[in-house]
Amino acid sequence: MKKLFTIFILLKTALCFAQTAPKPYGVLPTARQLNWHEMEMYCIIHFGVDTYTDKEWGFGDETPAILNPKKFDAAQIVGAAKAGGFKGVVIVAKHHDGLCIWPTQTTEHNITKTSWKNGKGDMVKEYQLACQKLGMQMGLYCSPWDRNSAFYGTPKYVDIYRAQLKELYSNYGKLFISWHDGANGGDGFYGGAREVRKIDRTTYYGWPTTWEITRKMQPTAALFGDVGPDARWVGNEEGHAGETCWATYTPLAPDSGKTPANGYVKYWLGVNGTRNGKYWMPAECDVSLRPGWFYHESQNAQVKSPYTLLDLYYKSVGRGANLDLGLSPDKDGLLEAEDVASLQKFGAILKETFAVNLAKNAKLTASNIRGKNSIKFGPALLLDQNRYSYWATDNAVKTPELTLDLGSEKTFNVIRLRENIKLGQRIEGVAVEVWKDGNWQQIASATSIGANRLIRLPQNVSAQKVRLRITGSPVCIALSDFGLYKEPVHLSAPTIRRDKNGMVSLSTDAPVSAVYYTTDGSAPTQKSTVYSKPFLFENGGLIRAVAAENKQIGEVSSAD
């Protein structure tokens, strides 16, 4: 009898583990794209003749001799990026001016003709060594457009460009990305011709053939461009994706019947992507730390603040995209102190915010578990810090609920959700609620989830019970992460906005416990009116507001 019971238990266990995983939905990411997603943030570094001419785009006639960064330190630049929480850097090996910052055999217009190290240096190599030392991944950008080359616009230049890529792919180790943009053709030096040269952007570079070089020589590198094929441009240089942002995308040409290409695409569609698009082609959000991509001394006071970077992080990484931040070394070959300080503070805020998942010890109750198999598909897998273990439901259950009992009241202001994207991007809508005053009250909602969704609440929320509701999905879910986090206290003066109809809204740089305001000109205190939503103030007057966290209050702002 005991033997039969043992056999029964073994059979039951075997059946339990035999429960099949959900069928993948739509197109799926490749291994190189998974690595790209996991990075979340990287920097692109611009340094060249434009650093010395105070330009953004060189004409191509600049003498290489002006480039002489006497204190160049790749480790200082890469180290600052690492301190900011970035996982890699993309080196601009050649910009549109055509100067190659490595000793290429393809053109005389290269680092050997500069004053730096008497023409014996190799900047790309120094970046490679710095990345290896600091544990950072490296990518490369070699501009397709070359305003220096006399051959640009002819088939010979395409051969030169491909030869440059082959050199870069051969001599600088493993790359995580090969970066390409859509700046193609226009006026330039072109070997002294000083003319305008136009190309057919859909055919000139022969992108499919060029990409084959990458696939063969750097098989783990993602290809970035307006049309991917691995990661797409988000369609702006402001650093943010759409509130709804799909990792799938079908690029379209501006003209019907034409083939889309880098520089020839309805780029504005990249902001949101394409639900059920033809390709897995997630968005990269590029933005510079300063107003320009290259260094300009006049912009030393315009470095983005840590909290501006944090806002961009939530609007890029927090929407399933990646953040690509532009860094601009100065004429000495170093990042300025302002740039380094902003990166360090930003990295510290991120580290503190996501150090502890306040839901890690919660009791989780799911309305459905796939095959009743808690070990393989249960909600506890949401808390194991593995992007690819997941809570899944039965095929027929597309809008399940999950309740978390935190054990005691916890205060949070950031919610994180992730899907197991190895099974596709499935979920189309979620709502988050807290139990308060005997009722479930909604505090947040979102649409697309994908690799990452961060919901930054406008104010702190305190609760013991939290509920997640999946409000839309065409198939059963495969959710891999649920987290509750607390961004550190930051009491900036509230921003006061009033529209043409007299509606007033108040906002802060970071979530706070409450915002208090007055409309009679008196100084606001924690006994003043609590801001909860926009209000009508059509007759005008002085509004004053202050943010508070427990007993701490910040700086008062005023507007009339």
Q: How many CB atoms lie within 10 A of CB 530?
A: 13
Amino acid letter at 209?
Answer: T
pLDDT, one tens digit per residue, over 512-528 is 889 999 999 899 999 99
Report the SS3 class of residue 146: coil
DSSP type of residue 539:
T
Q: Which of 44, 97, 85, 130 is nearest to 329 (CA)?
A: 44
Task: Give CA–CA dist 134/165, Å, rounded.
Answer: 25
Confidence of residue 3 (pLDDT cuts 50, 70, 90): low
Q: What span, in angstroms and rounded, lies between the C-alpha atoms of 481 and 360?
A: 11
Domain ranges of the chain: 32-353, 363-485, 495-559
| pLDDT score recorded for residue 14 | 45
Question: pTM for the complete prediction?
Answer: 0.92
What the block records as the tokens of 239 is: 């650093």
Q: If DSSP codes are grouped into helix, strand and coil, which group holds residue 166?
A: helix
Q: In terms of C-beta density within 10 A (0-12 exposed, 13-18 middle, 19 or more buried), how is residue 200 classed?
A: exposed
The lowest-confidence range among 8-17, 28-37, 236-245, 275-284 is: 8-17
Query: CA 327, CA 44: separation in Å to the nearest integer?
Result: 6
| Residue 508, CA atoms < 13 Å, CB-side half-sphere | 32
Look at residue 468 and tell me whether its pLDDT is greater than 70. yes
Whole-number pLDDT of residue 18 = 58
Residue 339: per-residue pLDDT: 98
Q: Are the CB atoms for 455 and 2 separated by under 8 Å?
A: no
Is a pLDDT exceeding 60 seen at residue 1?
A: no
Residue 416 has pLDDT above 70, yes or no: yes
Residue 104, Cα to own-chain centre: how many angstroms?
32
Please name every residue paired with 330 in a beta bridge, in sequence order, or none if there are none. none
Residues 6 or more apart from 118 whose CB is under 8 A from it?
none
pLDDT over 90, % of the chain: 89
Residue 16 has pLDDT above 60, yes or no: no
User: Rounded to 5 degrees, what are φ and ψ at 403?
Assistant: -110, 135
Averaged pLDDT, 36-65: 98
The lowest-confidence range among 7-11, 451-455, 503-507, 543-547 is: 7-11
Whose structure tokens read 């051959």? 151
For residue 265, pLDDT over 70 is answered with yes
Task: Please say if the pLDDT value at position 552 is more than 90.
Answer: no
List the Cα angle 356/357/358 in 5-degree steps. 105
* Predicted local distance difference test score (pLDDT) of residue 19: 77
Q: What is the pLDDT of residues 153-203, one digit of tens each?
A: 999 999 999 999 999 999 999 999 999 998 889 999 999 999 999 999 999
Residue 488's φ and ψ, nearest 5 degrees, are: -60, 160
First and final C-alpha spacing in the chain: 85
Q: Which two tokens stand for residue 243?
A: 């509130």
Rounded average pLDDT over 355-376: 97
What does the pLDDT read at residue 370?
98
Q: Would you state the pLDDT for residue 550? A: 82
- CA–chain centroid gap for 422, Å, is 19
Query: Which pLDDT score is estimated for 10?
Result: 44
pLDDT of 6 strictly over 60: no
Please report the pLDDT score of residue 195 as a whole number. Answer: 98
Predicted confidence at residue 7, as pLDDT, reads 46
Q: Which CATH class is domain 363-485?
A: mainly beta
At 122 the pLDDT is 98
> Residue 12: is its pLDDT beyond 90?
no
How do residues 380-412 score in pLDDT, each as one tens digit?
Answer: 999 999 999 999 999 999 999 999 999 999 999
Q: For position 540, what pLDDT does the model report?
A: 81
Q: Does residue 112 sit in helix, strand or coil?
A: helix
SS3 243: coil
Confidence of residue 8 (pLDDT cuts 50, 70, 90): very low
110: which residues sit within 8 A by CB, 6+ positions away? 64, 99, 100, 101, 102, 103, 104
To the question of domain 32-353 being in CATH 3.50.50.60, the answer is no
% pLDDT > 70, the chain: 97
What is the predicted pLDDT for the residue at 205? 95
Instruction: Examine the pLDDT at 421 and tell me if it is beyond 70.
Output: yes
Tokens (6 digits) for 19: 């429960």
3-state SS assignment for residue 144: coil
pLDDT confidence of 11, banded at 50, 70, 90?
very low
